[in-house]
Structure 1
């Protein structure tokens, strides 16, 4: 059954095209998908084209074919063993296990964070069930704090905070080699490799990337480090530490592959403003057992 939505356009949205505005409400969907599943859009009770420009005070109404979108997804909710660190009506913050993918891709259609979320939230709140609730992502081999949304409004608000770099992220990691400096800043541009699109490289024509760090403990051949990525590039921490000669322990791509050692990178804490109350929250996750066991053996 199509679901009916209505809203009043404010000054911030005035001047934008309707399709671009709707894409802002549902950022996980392309404009093509939005046009496919949203129909009978009207402005001030008159039929509206997706190319129409919005005005302050316009009254927007539209129907969304949610059932059609969900049935085309083929992704099922799953009750997975994932620890919930915080939850309310708007947010769900989890401790993502190492080895779990954030969202389905290719032949991987189960066992992901999205499968877990679909078991906890109303999938009809999201036009694209393949990315339902996903505000940001963690690499498969990274564990720790992952922030998720229960509805599209919260999703949009929190992604805006990420875009404005208002969210503080702290990671704990173990590197190969003993880092000599107590603290520092790695400021090297990153881009996707042209030879292998799955990996990132340091390159002068890349995008700005900044990582601050401080040493927590030195071992004979390894270092326990706390890192704060100021920017949010793909694989940023992994690429940056490899670029200064200290790849992450257990990193299968940028370090020395070792099937017996999982990658030692944990999203330890996340600090952000609540999308509704404005309260500053800081959510932390304990380092996993394997992480501590490895540290004890170094």
Structure 2
């Protein structure tokens, strides 16, 4: 069980407790905080309160985050596109529309369900919900993902992500015509204060760096390659919106009027890392999915 304690200062007086607590940690959504308050996991000066409680000067807030409930994740016979596999790692080409791991509303049909059917040995570092999962790509983003089969491999791959030595290149179609052939977007990303379900460029966010190269220009769109230096949630989608070129089809960060594609036109095309055991440098490439190929053909016309 995780425990936290906060003391209210003058600037925070009269704020609603549920709203205020989301500012303490960018990972805490307002819905999650409200649930903790309703469940009695939050106390003010030792007493439970309601979600609309307005905090007072020197109030002592205590939060106990309960251990997550263990959920049974069922193996499912899902046809996975496995690009590479050995005793330590698996590289999968995930189709768009597939969720990576079980979460509320998605307890079956996920990549993890399929992986658990395909192989019985996945690292246990992330517990039952995310076995083997080292990094994620969004449901509607297609492309390459590395999965660890044991804890030693898992730790090695996570260290490589932290050290920014992995190679992660994406292809995308963006609204607008980008004038520069190459560029770097360096802007911190954190929870959007106005919409806790979204991310945004914000001063309190974590460092985020994306390098882009223009591959092709069209009348109102640009085909672009983005290379991640860091790996924040929705990084490419947020960064491209930030510089004024949101991704085509992006339901969260893009315009409503867009190309005919269900979800953002974004594909994780290249993945490279050092093998945890052999120390060999491995690089994999996945071709563009048909939906994006068709869009490019239409734009060229």
Q: TM-score, normalising length from structure 2?
A: 0.73
Pairwise CA distance, 1:124: 7.3
Conserved? CA contact 1:211–1:229, under 8 Å = yes
Give the equivalent residue in structure 1 for 2:294: 293
Q: How does 1:108-127 map to 2 (within 5 A)?
A: 108-122=106-120, 126=124
Conserved? CA contact 1:117–1:132, under 8 Å = no
Structure 2 CA distance for aligned equivalents of residues 152 and 207 of structure 1: 26
Match of 2:231, SS state, is: coil
Give the equivalent residue in structure 2 for 1:185: 184
Pairwise CA distance, 1:123: 5.2
Pairwise CA distance, 1:195: 2.6
Conserved? CA contact 2:122–2:149, under 8 Å = no
Pairwise CA distance, 1:99: 0.8
Q: 1:80 aligns with which of 78, 90, 94?
A: 78
Structure 2 CA distance for aligned equivalents of residues 241 and 107 of structure 1: 28
Quickly say closer, same or farther: Cα 1:197–1:123, change in 2 above 3 A: farther
Match of 1:129, SS state, is: coil
Conserved? CA contact 2:188–2:202, under 8 Å = yes
Match of 1:271, SS state, is: strand
- 1:37-70 C-alpha deviation (Å, 9 max, x unpaired): xxxxxxxxxxxxxxxxxxxxxxxxxxxxxxxxxx
Match of 2:190, SS state, is: strand
Conserved? CA contact 2:123–2:148, under 8 Å = no
- 1:206-262 C-alpha deviation (Å, 9 max, x unpaired): 221111111000011111001111111111100111011100000010002469413
Q: Report runs of 4+ in structure 1 exceeding 4 Å deviation.
A: none
Match of 1:294, SS state, is: helix
Give the equivalent residue in structure 1 for 2:204: 205
Deviates most, 71-80 or 202-211: 71-80
Give the equivalent residue in structure 1 for 2:22: none
Q: What RMSD in Å do the two structures reach over aligned CA positions? A: 1.7
Structure 1 CA distance for aligned equivalents of residues 260 and 239 of structure 2: 24
Q: 2:97 aligns with which of 71, 96, 99?
A: 99
Give the equivalent residue in structure 1 for 2:150: 151
Q: Which runs of 5+ in 2 are unaligned?
A: 1-68
Structure 1 CA distance for aligned equivalents of residues 260 and 74 of structure 2: 31
Give the equivalent residue in structure 1 for 2:162: 163
Structure 2 CA distance for aligned equivalents of residues 97 and 139 of structure 1: 10
Conserved? CA contact 2:181–2:213, under 8 Å = yes
1:221 aligns with 2:192: no
